[in-house]
Each structure stands twice: as C-alpha cells, then as structure tokens.
Amino acid sequence: MNEFLRDIQKAISDEWTAYHFYKELQSRTNNPLFVEFISSARQDEKKHYDLFQYLHYLLTGEYYEHKKEKVEFTTFKEGILRALKDELDCASYYRDLLMDIPNQQAYKPLFIAMTDETAHSTRFQTIYQSLR
C-alpha cells in the first residue's frame, strides 16, 4: 500500500503540473484546432488531479499537499513534443498502477486517466505532425 500511495502522490503532482503546463502551452497558439485539443487535455488533467486527490483522501483521510513544479519550454513545438512524451509516459504509468490497486475504488480513476492520456497523446501527435 505504501508504494501505491507514493505512486498516487506522484500522479497528483504530475497532473497538477500538466494542467498548468497546458495552460501555458495553449496561450502560445491561436490555431483553433490546437487550442481545442490542448484545452481538452488541460480539462482532463484537472479531472485526474481531482480524482487522484479524492483517492488519496479515501486511502489516508487527507488530501495530498504536493510540490508545485513548472515545465519550462522555449517554443510551441518543443512544448508539444514534451507534452506528447509526457502523455505516453503517463498512460504506461497508470496502466502499471492498475496492476497494483489495493482496492476497487482505485480502479476507476486509474482507468479514466490511462485512457484519457492515450487520447491526449493522439491529439498532441496530430499537432506535432502538422508543425513539421
């Protein structure tokens, strides 16, 4: 359980970071399709953050106070590539966590996040390919 809890805490931090990263990334384009794709991912990251905080609360009786980190990037294209890599990593991370769930309450948030991250990676891949 302690390893699973540590992994959920990492997920909470990662989702918070992604939400704020995508907010900045979205501000660097005026392409309506790119804005839509990034906004959708950003809203999902907030949803994942809330789901994982609630799961943490169910497991510990407390919400997790995490370190606030910022993603630095220079160009929009660099940010998109970073987002794509992060989304693919997160999908795998959540898939692996599904194998270690301590109770059924953990299944739904992890499954939702895993499938959302896969969809995000497809959207970011689409953006990245159009920037080449």
Q: Report pTM.
A: 0.93
pLDDT of residue 105: 87
- 3-state SS class at 75: coil
Q: Is 10 exposed, middle or buried (0-12, 13-18, 19+ CB in 10 A)?
A: middle
- Count the helices and strands in the chain (H runs, E runs): 4, 0
pLDDT of residue 7: 95
pLDDT of residue 1: 62
List domains and CATH numbers for the chain: 2-62+70-131 (1.20.1260.10)
Query: For residue 101, which amino acid is it?
Result: I
Burial 14-31 (b: 16+ CB within 10 A, else e): bbbbbbbbbeebbeebee
Per-residue pLDDT of the chain (132 residues; tens, 9 = 90+): 689 999 999 999 999 999 999 999 999 999 999 999 999 999 999 999 999 999 999 999 999 999 888 999 999 999 999 999 999 999 999 999 999 888 888 999 999 999 999 999 999 999 999 998
pLDDT of residue 3: 92
- CA dihedral over 120, 126, 130, 132, signed as positive or negative: positive
In order, the DSSP letters of 5-65 are HHHHHHHHHHHHHHHHHHHHHHTT---HHHHHHHHHHHHHHHHHHHHHHHHHHHHHSS---
